[in-house]
């Protein structure tokens, strides 16, 4: 079974790329592979041009410091026995940074305030159960920031949070990618969030990227039927502009038994005969207005 197949992504410092798709499409496997938690059977992953695949644990560890992960569920990702201060100091101890005890305490307080929990003194001695969901996610972000990462891998960072605090956490991530200038790869199933915050969007279906390009191009001029279906169910703020939602029928196929030809053909409303035999690969549509817009569809 190929959980992820032929995915190719690039991410620059200061850029946010959103990986969008429904559950089970391979988004999480992709970021786990980038972070080294899953070993790819083939392919290449490079950080600042240096190959990561195949490195020993000893050589991978310093690179792990530069690639930090934010998990979906802040109720599970924080150790309930650790005060906030311990949660922030532990990664520094593991990676041998921060110098003295007082230096680490200072760095922890700075990271907490950069993550929006100020004054830090009001939070450092608390346990996770004394924090709200949004505050927990900010602690998780601060625990990543103390290591000074170049790349933040955010796996559905707001999907478990109340709607009222989502915007604040997303705005924090948006600010962080500009200052200090880190790349953020954000997984989300919410195309409207991706459109608002990301520079580029990559849409995944059944382990493959089926459309990618600048966020506004993908959202305003989607070319893949799957992207169009996802966008059709995004509610518009103006109810008068509400279109007809295009509800996809059936479940996504079993990744162990991928359909012949186009992977999306069993659910595609415009599939043609050629779609059962020829597997479309990402390419620039002939009439594309944006040269960075790629689509994997015979009809694009
Ligand atoms: Fe639909 Fe065919 Fe395009 Fe696949 S290649 S998305 S089945 S039209």
Name the residue range of residue 267's domain.
217-300
Binding pocket residue ranges, ligand 1, CB within 6 Å: 224-225, 262, 264-265, 268, 270-272, 275, 280, 297-299
Task: Note whether residue 144 is domain-resident.
Answer: no
pLDDT value at residue 242? 67
φ/ψ region of 177 (left if φ > 0, alpha if ψ in -120 to 50, else beta) reads: alpha
Task: Note whether residue 250 is domain-resident.
Answer: yes
Model confidence, pTM: 0.91
For residue 262, report the distance from its CA to the centre of ligand 1, in Å: 6
φ/ψ region of 279 (left if φ > 0, alpha if ψ in -120 to 50, else beta) reads: beta
**167: which residues sit within 8 A by CB, 6+ positions away?**
none
Task: Note whether residue 295 is domain-resident.
Answer: yes
Closest residue by Cα to atom 7, ligand 1, is 265
For residue 298, report the distance from its CA to the centre of ligand 1, in Å: 6
Task: Note whether residue 76 is domain-resident.
Answer: no
Closest residue by Cα to atom 8, ligand 1, is 271
For residue 289, report the distance from its CA to the centre of ligand 1, in Å: 21
Measured CA to CA, the distance from residue 120 to residue 109 in angstroms comes to 5
pLDDT value at residue 172? 92
- Residues 27-73 pLDDT 10s: 999 999 999 889 999 999 999 999 999 999 889 888 999 999 999 98
Name the pairing type of β-strands 208-214 and 294-295: antiparallel
For residue 229, report the distance from its CA to the centre of ligand 1, in Å: 13
pLDDT value at residue 111? 95
Closest residue by Cα to atom 5, ligand 1, is 297
For residue 286, report the distance from its CA to the centre of ligand 1, in Å: 16
Residue showing tokens 């197949």: 5
Task: Note whether residue 150 is domain-resident.
Answer: no
pLDDT value at residue 108? 96
Residue showing tokens 């992709």: 30
Domain count, the chain: 1
Task: Note whether residue 238 is domain-resident.
Answer: yes
Q: Per-residue confidence of the chain (300 residues) as pLDDT tens digits? A: 888 998 999 999 999 999 999 888 899 999 999 998 899 999 999 999 999 999 998 898 889 999 999 999 888 899 999 999 999 999 999 999 888 999 999 999 999 999 999 999 999 999 999 999 999 999 999 999 999 999 999 999 988 888 888 889 999 999 998 877 799 999 998 888 888 899 999 999 999 999 999 999 999 999 999 999 999 887 777 777 667 777 787 788 888 889 999 999 999 999 999 999 999 999 998 777 888 899 999 998
Task: Note whether residue 279 is domain-resident.
Answer: yes
Closest residue by Cα to atom 6, ligand 1, is 297
């Amino acid at each position: 079974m190929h959980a992820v197949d032929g995915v190719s992504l690039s991410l620059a410092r200061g850029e946010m790329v959103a990986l969008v798709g429904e559950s089970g499409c391979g988004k999480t496997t992709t970021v786990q592979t980038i972070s080294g938690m899953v070993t790819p059977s083939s392919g290449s992953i490079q950080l600042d041009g240096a190959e990561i695949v195949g490195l020993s644990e000893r050589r991978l560890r310093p690179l792990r410091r530069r690639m930090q992960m934010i998990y979906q569920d802040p109720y599970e990702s924080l150790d309930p026995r650790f005060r906030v201060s311990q949660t922030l100091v532990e990664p520094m101890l593991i990676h041998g940074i921060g110098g003295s005890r007082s230096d680490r305490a200072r760095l922890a307080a700075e990271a907490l305030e950069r993550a929006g929990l100020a004054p830090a003194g009001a939070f450092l001695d608390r346990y996770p159960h004394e924090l709200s969901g949004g505050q927990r996610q900010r602690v998780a972000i601060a625990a990543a920031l103390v290591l000074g990462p170049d790349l933040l891998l955010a796996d559905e960072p707001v999907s478990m949070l109340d709607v009222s605090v989502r915007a604040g956490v997303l705005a924090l991530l948006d600010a962080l990618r500009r200052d200090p200038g880190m790349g953020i790869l954000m997984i989300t199933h919410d195309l409207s969030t991706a459109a608002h915050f990301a520079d580029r969007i990559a849409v995944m279906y059944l382990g493959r990227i089926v459309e990618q390009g600048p966020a506004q191009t993908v959202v305003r001029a989607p070319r893949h039927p799957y992207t169009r279906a996802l966008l059709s169910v995004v509610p518009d703020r103006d109810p008068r502009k509400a279109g007809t939602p295009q509800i996809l029928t059936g479940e996504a196929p079993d990744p162990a038994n991928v359909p012949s030809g186009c992977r999306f053909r069993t659910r595609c409303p415009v599939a043609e005969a050629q779609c059962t035999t020829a597997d479309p690969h990402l390419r620039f549509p002939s009439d594309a207005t944006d040269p960075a817009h790629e689509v994997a569809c015979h009809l694009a």
